[in-house]
Amino acid sequence: MTSPAPTFSVVVPVYNEVESLPELHRRVRAVMEDLGEPWELVLVDDGSRDGSTDLIRELQAQDPEHVRPVIFARNFGHQIAVTAGLDYARGQAVVVMDADLQDPPEVIPDLVEKWRAGYQVVYAVRQAREGETWFKRATAALFYRLIRRITNVEIPLDTGDFRLMDRRVVEVLRRMRERHRFLRGMVAWVGFRQIGVPYKRAPRFAGETKYPLRKMLKFALDAITGFSYFPLQLATYMGFLSAGLAIIAIPIVAVARMTGVQAFYGQASTLIAVLFLGGVQLISLGILGEYVGRIYDEIKGRPLYVVAEAPEPPPDDAA
C-alpha cells in the first residue's frame, strides 16, 4: 500500500466478535467521515475462531482505503493485540477502542477535540457502565483503587484502554517492549499532557465478554507486578512484624514460666505459630515466583506476537 499516512488511526483488537464487526465498521466510518480527514481502521485479529478473520478480510475488500487487517497466528491476548495495533497504526493520532461497541465511536470527536487543543493523551473515563454485572463493576472499582494505592504511576480511575494518543506517545510506547503489559499504566508512565473525557460505557453490542475471571486475575497481576514492588515488600513487613512479636513474647513467656503460670504449654500454640509462619513463607515464595517468572519471560526475548497476515511490516524496528 502506498497511500499517504492518515491523520487518524482507529485500533481495535478483535477476538471472536463476528456479530459486532459490521456495525463497528459502519459506526466508525460514519464518525470518521464526519471528521473529514484521512483515517484508517486497524483491525487486529487476535486468533479468532468464529469467522471474524474472514469477515475482517471481507471488510477490507469492501473498504480497502480504510480497513487494515493485522491477523495473528493465534490468540495472544487483548493487551498484545492493542500493542500490535499501535505498531501498525500510521496516524498522527491513534484511537484505541474495543470491538464490542462498549466504547461508542461517537465519543471519538470529543477525544479529537482535546487533541487539537494540545493534549497528547485523551482518555475516556467511564461515567456510567451499562449492562455489566455488579461483580464486574465492583471488582473493577476495587482494582483501580488498589492499583492507585500501591503503584507510583498516576493511573486515572475508571479508565479502560479507550483513548486517543498522539504519535509522540505511540512512539514511546512502541519502544516499551515488556511482555506482561498493562497499557493504561504504561501510557500514564509516558507522561505528556493527559486529560480525561467522560463517556457512558454502553452494554456489549453482541456476544459475551472475552474477559472471564481467569483473564481478569492475570490482568490484575500483570498490572500490579508491572508497576509495583509492594507485594515483594510485604514479605519484609511480615518478617518485621513476626520478629517483633517474638521479641515481645520471649521475655513474657520466660517470666511466666518462671513464676509458674500454666499458659503456653502444649502443642497447639506451637503448631499455630508454625502453620502461620509456614503459610506466610509459602505465600512470599509464590509472590517471588510471580516476579521471577516474569523475569524469565522477559529474558527469553521472544517476539510479543506472531503475525500471520499484515499489510506491510510496521514502520521501523518493532515486534
- Residue of 192, 211, 240, 276 that binds ligand UDP (CB under 6 A): 211
- Residue of 18, 41, 86, 99 that binds ligand UDP (CB under 6 A): 99
Of 98 and 222, which has the nearer Cβ to ligand UDP?
Answer: 98
Of 87 and 100, which has the nearer Cβ to Mg ion?
Answer: 100
Contact 170, 190 (CB under 8 A): no
Binding string, residues 16-35; x marks residues near ligand UDP by CB under 6 A: -x------------------
- Residue of 13, 85, 105, 226 that binds ligand UDP (CB under 6 A): 13
- C-beta of 299: minimal distance to ligand UDP in Å? 24
HSE of 156, CA atoms in CB hemisphere, 13 A: 23
Binding string, residues 120-159; x marks residues near Mg ion by CB under 5 A: ----------------------------------------
3-state SS, residue 126: strand
Distance CA 34, CA 23 (A): 17
Of 140, 114, 132, 123, nearest to 184 by C-alpha is 123
Of 196, 59, 210, nearest to 126 by C-alpha is 196
Contact 160, 188 (CB under 8 A): no
Amino acid at 310: A
Contacts (CB under 6 A) with ligand UDP, residues 39-78: 46, 75, 77-78
Residue 13 touches which of ligand UDP, Mg ion, none (Cβ within 5-8 Å per kind): ligand UDP
- The residue count for binding ligand UDP (CB under 6 A) is 16
- The residue count for binding Mg ion (CB under 5 A) is 3
Dihedral (CA of 102, 186, 298, 236) sign: negative
Q: What are the cell numbers at 233?
A: 515488600
Distance CA 101, CA 199 (A): 13
User: Which region among 11-19, 31-39, 109-117, 250-258 touches ligand UDP (by CB under 6 A)?
Assistant: 11-19
210 part of the interface to ligand UDP, by CB under 6 A: yes
Of 5, 35, 25, 38, nearest to 110 by C-alpha is 35
User: Which region among 94-102, 114-122, 164-172, 254-262 touches Mg ion (by CB under 5 A)?
Assistant: 94-102
- 84: Cβ contacts below 8 Å, ≥ 6 apart: 44, 70, 72, 76, 304, 305, 307, 319
- C-beta of 29: minimal distance to Mg ion in Å? 20
- Residue of 83, 102, 120, 194 that binds Mg ion (CB under 5 A): 102
Residues binding ligand UDP (CB under 6 A): 13-15, 17, 46, 75, 77-78, 81, 98-100, 102, 209-211
Residues binding Mg ion (CB under 5 A): 98, 100, 102
